Amino acid sequence: MKEEISIVFHGRGGQGAVKASQILAYAASLDGKYVQAFPNFGIERQGAPLESYCRISDKNIFARNEIDSPDYAIVLDETLLNIKKIEAKEIIINSENKKFTKTFDATKIALEFLGKNIVNTSMLAAFCHYTELVSKENLLLALKEFFSGKILEKNIEIINQTFKKLEKN
């Protein structure tokens, strides 16, 4: 791993982008990494575009600014590509459209298990699968710090199903 990895989550209010950056940071901390996670959004309302940031490093993180040139972008809503130019060294998109390099249809899994388009944990699993920056085991452990009961069980199943589908491809 390079000294510091930067990740920007692009989502809409209610999709779990902020929670995703927090879960990812916690999962990376279980590996002994230094982490940072924080959101950036305007008026809080469901459906409004927002960004959430995560930094993972082998050393202390002193930066407190937004991430302008991320290593990774995780796009929770494909329609955001129509309203904003999203740049990163690698982009992972919630989409069934294969014209993009790295995609995963997280919406399908979210609707199946949650009945709502909350795609954060499925996209986290896709990110971990594609990058191997955080292990599936640590991702599952991190979930237990953020969810409990039936929601935890559903999110564990979402992560397991995401990894299973991606391993088949």
What are the CB-based long-range contacts (under 8 Å, 24+) for 131-137? 131/72, 131/90, 133/1, 133/5, 133/28, 133/56, 134/24, 134/27, 134/28, 134/31, 134/56, 135/27, 135/31, 136/163
Give pLDDT, residue 44.
64
Average pLDDT in the 68-72 region? 95
Summary mean pLDDT of the chain: 93
For the chain, percent of residues with pLDDT exceeding 90: 80
What is the identity of the amino acid at 103? T
CATH number, span 4-168: 3.40.920.10
Environment class of residue 129 by beta-carbon count within 10 Å: exposed (0-12), middle (13-18) or buried (19+)? buried
93-135 pLDDT, tens digit each: 999 887 787 999 999 999 999 999 999 999 999 999 999 999 9
Give pLDDT, residue 42.
66
Query: pTM of the full predicted structure?
Result: 0.93
77-95 pLDDT, tens digit each: 999 999 989 999 999 999 9
Give pLDDT, residue 17.
94
